[in-house]
């Protein structure tokens, strides 16, 4: 028996969590976990963890595909462990299915709705019941079950599978026309599903001519398929669908859209040359198309994105002159303004932004255009005019996203115009109205520098983050739960205790949907996510709650709330690698929170992995500099390794940019080469101005968020105090 397990004490009822066992299961080391679970179940059969061990024995042996053994443990759990009764029944049914015992599976599945009417497994049980009926040759019954299933659950994640099963049951009865219709419905309405390909194969087998000429017979449905594939990011399949539309009816309205969408897909795939060629052809061949404004805008923007401003101006000018009232013309004016800014033609940029504000007073780009107009005036040395623009932007209806930024730079512009007495109240109001946001913190720092010490009140201003001793959410108010919410709560807690976080998350979501839409309910749900190791969901829930609070409520928030919103996960590792790389541990925490929200298995759309979201190529390069042995991508999902490599990479960026944190953070997100390019464009500007000039919105916001995070971490966890992972009562999760 391992040391960690031997040191744990298990009495009746609640006992210490067997972390060593759960860590093995989390890593997929099921064979190593099995004897420890068995020993626990045998030694303490009546304890809470002894009963949970039965369930986990079933879980681990099922993962090892030792089905008879798994069945035995689940059957024991059926008698001893009622808290997850529906999960036990579901797992038993799955084993019967895997073993080909269809009648036993069917009997088990049919018992679920009566015994557990609120179980989240009921839709799956209904679907699997139909599949077992089909396996027994009872196709008419299966088809009726599936018809009813689609009526009740047709919009769920199981819809494509249910359609395929339904079509197969009809085909087995000789109802080929009905079956073909369902196969087509699946193929066109769920094109990104794994079942879509199987449906296409059956369509070809049943009626190859009709299948191959489908675009000719039902062009709108085929167009819908292409659109969904585009939305799902299935670019190559979407291109094939659009090409089929062009082949079958090149003169149709659908064909016009197909040509444009094909060009936009190539743009999304970064094949800008092919995209511009197709857009040029579209603009030439479809001068009367309703899609022409979008095509002209996309063409001009693509040229702008590829630093070909001279070529981009012609389609954008054609757009704004030929379609002056189109929403695409508004965007076209904005892009022309950005082109002029890049080329230092600031009077022309001002003119274009002014045209946009006049022509589209309620448009989508108005706030951003007004911001850029003020920014140009600020850069040109006209701070009073800049302050006017920023003030108008801060008061503009529908411009809440820009309010803090506009207020701060209004203050900076007034300060630049030697009107510090007017700037100081703006900075103070930022602090009081927006709290510890990026601009709230900057406002606090500027206000402190502007107000003479002798004019300060005796009681110092608390700053952007107030931590009252009995603040809002300092004590958890557990909502009164009825039977159904309590059903889900029990399961959420049990699954979370055992580290089965995916199922725990579903149960918490089901519970949340049953609670009244109140602040206390949101806090309760966020705390459940947090306690079960679902940090991303917890942070999202607390953020949503925070956004709905008034400024007064935000200033009344308790330390407990802030520490849940900004947790210190992996604190020991963070401190270790911060010391080794001579960085602040709060910087590493701030970056991890922004990158992954403490989800160690996170993977971005670009392929960045783990807590500090390292690209495999970056991780490998740093690994080879600092460690021996073979690098494997899976190492990036180990918290200790990821933090070590991420901290070293960030330290390298800080060295490269001579300790300038804002540059290092921008380089971490967008790459150091791009930051060097931006520095060449904007030499000598102060850090705050540089951040505003970052051309990528994602990177700009990324840097601001991490700087804000650092401030909050330093405020709520003073050096040398605070609570670690264990005291926060959090749980590591494992994937199913």
Q: Quick count: other Cβ atoms within 10 Å of Cβ 63?
A: 15
Q: How far apart are CA 564 and CA 542, in angstroms?
A: 8
Query: Please, how many CA atoms are within 13 Å of residue 698, restricted to the half-sphere of its CB?
Result: 7
Q: Helix, strand or coil for residue 500?
A: strand
The answer to whether the CB of 405 falls within 8 A of the CB of 429 is: no
Task: Supply the Cα-derived Rg of the chain in whole angstroms.
Answer: 30
| Number of residues assigned to the chain | 736
Q: How far apart are CA 562 and CA 473, in angstroms?
A: 10
Which pair of structure tokens corresponds to residue 231?
Answer: 């939305």
Q: Which of 257, 595, 599, 620 is catalytic?
A: 595
Q: How far apart are CA 443 and CA 688, in angstroms?
A: 12
Dihedral sign of CA atoms 280, 282, 287, 289 in order: negative
Neighbouring-strand partners of residue 603: 609
- Report which DSSP code applies to 2: -
The answer to whether the CB of 360 falls within 8 A of the CB of 330 is: yes
Which pair of structure tokens corresponds to residue 416?
Answer: 């630049």
| Secondary structure of 451-484 in HEC code, one letter for each residue | CCHHHCCCCCCCCCCCCCCCCECCCCCCCCCCHH
**Nearest residue to 730 (alpha-carbon basis) of 535, 551, 502:** 535
Which pair of structure tokens corresponds to residue 154?
Answer: 């047709």
Q: How far apart are CA 33 and CA 24, in angstroms?
A: 6
Q: How far is CA 99 from CA 162, 394, 528, in A?
A: 22, 66, 37
Q: How far apart are CA 534 and CA 83, in angstroms?
A: 21
Phi then psi for residue 113, to 5 deg, are -60, -40
Name, in order, each residue with C-beta under 8 angstroms of 463's C-beta and a sequence gap of 6 or more: 431, 444
Which pair of structure tokens corresponds to residue 6?
Answer: 């031997």
**Nearest residue to 565 (alpha-carbon basis) of 464, 448, 716, 445:** 716
Phi then psi for residue 609, to 5 deg, are -125, 145
Q: How far apart are CA 371 and CA 404, in angstroms?
A: 12
**Straight-line distance from the first to the last Cα atom of the chain, in angstroms, rounded to the nearest whole number:** 25
The answer to whether the CB of 245 falls within 8 A of the CB of 255 is: yes
**Nearest residue to 388 (alpha-carbon basis) of 419, 432, 428:** 419
Give 576: exposed, middle or buried? Use CB within 10 Å, 0-12, 13-18, 19+: middle
Q: How far apart are CA 382 and CA 84, in angstroms?
A: 68
- Report which DSSP code applies to 734: B
Element (H, E) at 697: helix 697-716
**Known catalytic residue: 595?**
yes
Q: How far apart are CA 80 and CA 78, in angstroms?
A: 6
The answer to whether the CB of 675 falls within 8 A of the CB of 658 is: no
Name, in order, each residue with C-beta under 8 angstroms of 558's C-beta and a sequence gap of 6 or more: 467, 468, 470, 471, 472, 473, 474
In the block, residue with structure tokens 């991780």: 619
Phi then psi for residue 500, to 5 deg, are -85, 75
Q: Helix, strand or coil for residue 260?
A: helix
Enzyme catalytic residues: 595
């Amino acid at each position: 028996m391992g040391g960690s397990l031997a040191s744990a004490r298990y009495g009746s009822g609640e006992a210490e969590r067997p972390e060593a066992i759960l860590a093995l299961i989390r890593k997929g080391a099921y064979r190593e976990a099995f004897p420890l679970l068995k020993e626990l179940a045998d030694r303490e059969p009546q304890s809470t963890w002894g009963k949970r061990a039965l369930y986990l024995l079933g879980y681990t042996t099922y993962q090892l595909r030792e089905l008879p053994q798994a069945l035995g443990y689940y059957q024991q759990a059926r008698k001893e462990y009622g808290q997850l009764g529906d999960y036990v029944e579901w797992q038993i049914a799955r084993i019967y299915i895997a073993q080909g015992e269809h009648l036993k599976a069917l009997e088990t599945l049919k018992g679920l709705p009566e015994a557990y009417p609120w179980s989240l497994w009921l839709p799956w049980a209904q679907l699997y019941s139909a599949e077992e009926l089909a396996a027994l040759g009872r196709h008419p019954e299966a088809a009726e079950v599936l018809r009813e299933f689609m009526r009740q659950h047709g919009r769920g994640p199981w819809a494509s599978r249910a359609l395929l099963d339904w079509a197969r049951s009809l085909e087995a009865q000789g109802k080929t026309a009905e079956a073909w219709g369902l196969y087509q419905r699946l193929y066109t309405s769920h094109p990104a599903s794994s079942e879509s390909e199987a449906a296409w194969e059956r369509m070809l087998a049943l009626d190859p001519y009709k299948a191959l000429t489908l675009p000719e017979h039902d062009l709108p449905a085929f167009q819908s398929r292409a659109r969904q594939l585009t939305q799902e990011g299935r670019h190559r399949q979407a291109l094939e669908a659009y090409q089929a539309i062009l082949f079958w009816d090149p003169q149709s309205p659908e064909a016009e859209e197909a040509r444009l969408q094909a060009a936009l897909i190539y743009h999304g795939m970064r094949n800008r040359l092919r995209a511009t060629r197709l857009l040029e052809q579209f603009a030439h061949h479809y001068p009367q198309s309703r899609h022409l404004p979008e095509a002209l805008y996309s063409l001009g923007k693509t040229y702008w994105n590829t630093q070909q401003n001279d070529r981009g101006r012609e389609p954008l000018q054609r757009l704004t002159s030929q379609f002056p009232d189109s929403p695409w013309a508004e965007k076209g004016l904005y892009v022309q303004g950005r082109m002029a800014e890049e080329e230092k033609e600031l009077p022309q940029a001002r003119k274009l932004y002014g045209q946009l504000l006049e022509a589209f007073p309620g448009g989508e780009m108005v706030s951003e255009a007004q911001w850029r107009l003020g920014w140009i005036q600020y850069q040109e040395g006209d701070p009073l005019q800049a302050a006017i623009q920023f003030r108008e932007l801060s008061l503009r209806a529908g411009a809440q996203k820009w309010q803090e930024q506009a207020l701060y730079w209004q203050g900076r512009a007034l300060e630049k115009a030697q009107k510090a007495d007017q700037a100081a109240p703006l900075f103070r109001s930022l602090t009081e109205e927006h709290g510890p946001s990026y601009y709230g913190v900057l406002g606090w720092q500027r206000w402190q520098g502007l107000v003479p010490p002798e004019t300060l009140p005796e009681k110092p201003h608390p700053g952007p983050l107030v931590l009252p001793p009995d603040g809002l959410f300092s004590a958890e108010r557990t909502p009164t739960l009825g039977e159904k919410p309590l059903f889900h709560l029990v399961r959420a807690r049990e699954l979370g205790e055992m580290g089965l976080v995916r199922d725990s998350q579903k149960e918490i979501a089901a519970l949340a949907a049953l609670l009244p839409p109140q602040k206390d309910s949101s806090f309760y749900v966020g705390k459940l996510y947090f306690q079960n190791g679902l940090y991303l969901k917890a942070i999202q829930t607390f953020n949503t709650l925070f956004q709905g609070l008034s400024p007064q409520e935000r200033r009344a928030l308790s330390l407990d709330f802030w520490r849940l919103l900004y947790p210190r996960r992996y604190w020991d590792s963070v401190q270790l690698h911060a010391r080794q790389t001579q960085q602040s541990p709060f910087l590493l925490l701030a970056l991890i929170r922004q990158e992954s929200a403490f989800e160690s298995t996170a993977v971005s759309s670009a392929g960045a992995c783990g807590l500090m979201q390292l690209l495999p190529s970056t991780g490998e390069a740093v690994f080879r500099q600092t460690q021996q042995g073979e690098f494997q991508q899976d190492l990036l999902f180990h918290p200790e390794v990821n933090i070590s490599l991420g901290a070293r990479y960030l330290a390298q960026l800080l060295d490269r940019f001579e300790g300038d944190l804002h540059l290092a953070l921008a380089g971490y997100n967008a790459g150091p080469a791009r930051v060097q390019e931006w520095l060449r464009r904007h030499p000598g500007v102060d850090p705050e101005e540089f951040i505003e000039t970052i051309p990528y919105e994602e990177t700009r916001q990324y840097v601001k968020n991490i700087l804000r995070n650092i401030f909050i971490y330093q405020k709520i966890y003073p050096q040398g105090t605070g609570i670690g992972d264990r005291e926060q009562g959090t749980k590591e999760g494992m994937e199913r």
